[in-house]
Amino acid sequence: MNIIPKAKNFKENGNIEISAEFSADERLIFCKKAFLRMVSKLYGVRLTDGDDGIKLVYDEALDKDEYAIKGASVYASDYEGARYGLATMLQLMEKTEDGFTVCDTEIKDSPDKDFRAFMTDLAREWHDFDNLISYVDLCYLNKMKYLQLHFTDDQSWTLPLACFPKAATRGRCYKRSEIDYLVEYAYESGIELVPEFEGIGHSKELIKNCPDEFGNVYDEEIEDSSVENSVEAGKVGRVDNIMCIGKPDIFENIRRMLSEIAEIFKYSKYIHVGCDEAKHENWNHCALCRDYMARQNLESTKATYSHFVKKIIDICLSLGKTPIVWEGFPYEGTENISRDAVVISWENIYQSGPELIESGFNVINASWSPMYIVPLRKEPIKTICKWSVISKNWRVHQVQHHWNASKAYGGLELTPREKVLGGMLCQWECKMEEERDRVILNLPQVSDRTWNAEDFYSGEEFESAKEKIIALSEKLI
Ligand SMILES: [Zn+2]
């Protein structure tokens, strides 16, 4: 019997039979609801209160986020540890006629990295609300801690906000009641949501729906081609998807949005504010932006881009949330941006992971290869993106890219290691049926390699270790 992620200390003794019962120490009782829900979904059994089944035991000797298992008892000193121990128990159980067989183990385990995440793009392709619930469950099973929701982009705006109701894409926006339900559901499950409002660039839909508040007023018509994918990143195009920095109330309007997002996602530590791939040269073609740059003594659109990023980050910090941004803002002006912001290293073209760390940022490793799940619709992406995390030997302390224009082509080490908060598997541009199987297969690999920075499964070991979690995942989504 092997579990995912690989446990740091694991000993197997055989099997024990237990009843379909559950008991928990009062100090950890909060974890009961989500666990019972998962047992019900995975095994079709509703556990009843009783001492002859799985026990959740408080053990103050265990560290924060740590758990231990002995037989059918899970030990922890906090909710995080308890949740991880219970998630492991889901893999050790087998249903019998009148209860469960549990693999009798001795485990003591804790994660190496805090930011173990999955991100799903909800703006390029519509995802039914039920899919979001399934992803919370999948994160629970894989002991991931964060689920990032990419709510907004050029193609649609899916996050309902009372402060800008007209921002929402008609027929492609979640209901506020659904989001409220999701927030509570994730909280009970111990999964922290990271809401993403993609700011500055990637704002075509917002600008279309709220032109007076966010749109540039160009001197001449701007070519309205669609946004190129990341292979084209770095090119400056005349794509009208960038917010106007010269609008009189632009920062007040962004503050209103972020305030409401902070209020809705009340349990979340982080808000992702986007900030990548902004076609900043467009600001030269808008009189309002030219005036703003002159008033602020901003000498270039690159410096203006960093200025805009700094402003958004500062708003987020003033609301008591930690901002996350994509790598993509220019080097010029970076010195003014708060180092309390966390940067996701993905393309390693604009500023590489090592460069971002060197300049004082904490980073999250979402390096394109192999952490991006994208549609396999045409070559060369079709071939390139079939790889798995294991086949690329991805590690949380190394960024990689298949493209030789990236500084991470061939791999780059990330040091010092404490500046790497973790890693994130990202689903981009896929329809649910395109991403489903790849998420199910890749999530356990990313789980293993963010939980364990060094001692993770090899490809061969993973083949047998994955069987149970893959079978369970199939029932959740
Ligand atoms: Zn403008």
Q: What is the CATH number of the domain that holds 37?
A: 3.30.379.10
CA of 219 relative to ligand 1 center, distance in Å: 10
- 396 C-alpha to ligand 1 centroid (Å): 39
CA of 317 to the centre of ligand 1 (A): 25
2: in domain: no
Cα-to-centroid distance, 226 and ligand 1 (Å): 20
140 & 105 share domain: no
Residues 69 and 216 in one domain: no
The domain containing residue 58 runs over which residues?
9-109
Predicted local distance difference test score (pLDDT) of residue 248:
92
- For residues 182 and 68, membership in a common domain is answered with no
Q: Which one of 89, 109, 129 terminates a domain?
A: 109
The sign one gets for the Cα dihedral 61, 64, 66, 72 is positive
- Does the residue 4 lie in any domain? no
Domain end marker among 87, 109, 131: 109
Q: Let me know whether 163 and 302 are in one domain.
A: yes
**What is the Å distance from ligand 1's center to 244 Cα?**
4
Same domain, 47 and 156: no
Distance 216 CA to ligand 1 centre (A): 4
Question: Do β-strands 412-413 and 398-399 pair in parallel, antiparallel, or remain unpaired?
Answer: antiparallel
* pLDDT reported for residue 237: 44
Residue 133 lies in a domain: yes
- Specify whether the backbone of 121 is left (phi greater than 0), alpha (psi in -120 to 50) or beta: beta
Last residue of some domain: 71, 87, 109? Answer: 109
330 falls within a domain = yes
Distance 328 CA to ligand 1 centre (A): 20
pLDDT of amino acid 239: 63
Same-domain pairing of 124 and 193: yes
Cα 256 to middle of ligand 1, angstroms? 20
CA of 165 from ligand 1 middle (Å) equals: 23
Residue 453, domain CATH: 3.20.20.80
Q: What pLDDT, on the 0 to 100 scale, is given for residue 313?
A: 98
Alpha carbon of 291 to ligand 1 centroid (Å): 9
At residue 320, the pLDDT reads: 98
Which residues fall inside 5 Å of ion ligand 1, going by CB? 216, 244, 246, 286, 288-289
CA of 290 from ligand 1 middle (Å) equals: 7
- The domain total for the chain is 2
- Do the Cβ atoms of 55 and 72 come closer than 8 Å? yes
**In a shared domain, residues 49 and 128:** no
Residue 241 lies in a domain: yes
Q: How far is the CA of 236 from the centre of ligand 1 (A)?
A: 17
Same domain, 45 and 17: yes
∠ Cα 382 435 132 (to 5°):
155
**Rounded to an integer, what distance in angstroms lies between the CA atom of residue 88 and that of residue 66?**
12
64 and 204 inside one domain: no
Q: How far is the CA of 164 from the centre of ligand 1 (A)?
A: 20
Say yes or no: 454 and 420 in one domain. yes
Distance in Å, CA 369 to ligand 1 centroid: 35
- Confirm whether 1 is domain-assigned: no
Q: Is residue 314 situated within a structural domain?
A: yes
CA of 202 to the centre of ligand 1 (A): 15
**CA 223 to ligand 1 centroid distance, Å:** 16
pLDDT for the residue 384? 84
Q: Ligand 1 centre from 297 Cα, in Å?
A: 16
Q: Identify whether the C-beta of residue 311 lies closer than 8 Å to the C-beta of residue 338.
A: no
Q: Which residues of 259-271 are buried (b: 16+ CB within 10 A; e: fewer)?
A: bbbbebbeebebb
Looking at the fold, whether 152 and 241 belong to one and the same domain comes out as yes
Q: Ligand 1 center to residue 160 CA distance, Å? A: 25
Predicted pLDDT of residue 13? 95
Q: How far is the CA of 235 from the centre of ligand 1 (A)?
A: 20
Same structural domain, 142 and 206: yes
**Average confidence (pLDDT) per 10 residues, the chain, 477 residues:** 94 97 98 98 98 98 98 98 98 97 98 98 98 98 98 97 97 98 98 97 96 92 48 48 96 98 98 95 95 97 97 98 96 95 96 97 96 92 88 96 94 97 97 96 98 96 95 97
Q: Which residues contact 475 (CB under 8 A, 6 or more apart)?
A: 41, 42
Distance 209 CA to ligand 1 centre (A): 16
State residue 1's pLDDT score: 72
The rounded Å distance from CA 204 to ligand 1 centre is: 14
Please tell me the distance between residue 201's alpha carbon and the centre of ligand 1 in angstroms.
13
Question: Please, is 241 exposed, middle or buried when counting C-beta atoms within 10 Å of its C-beta (0-12, 13-18, 19+)?
Answer: buried
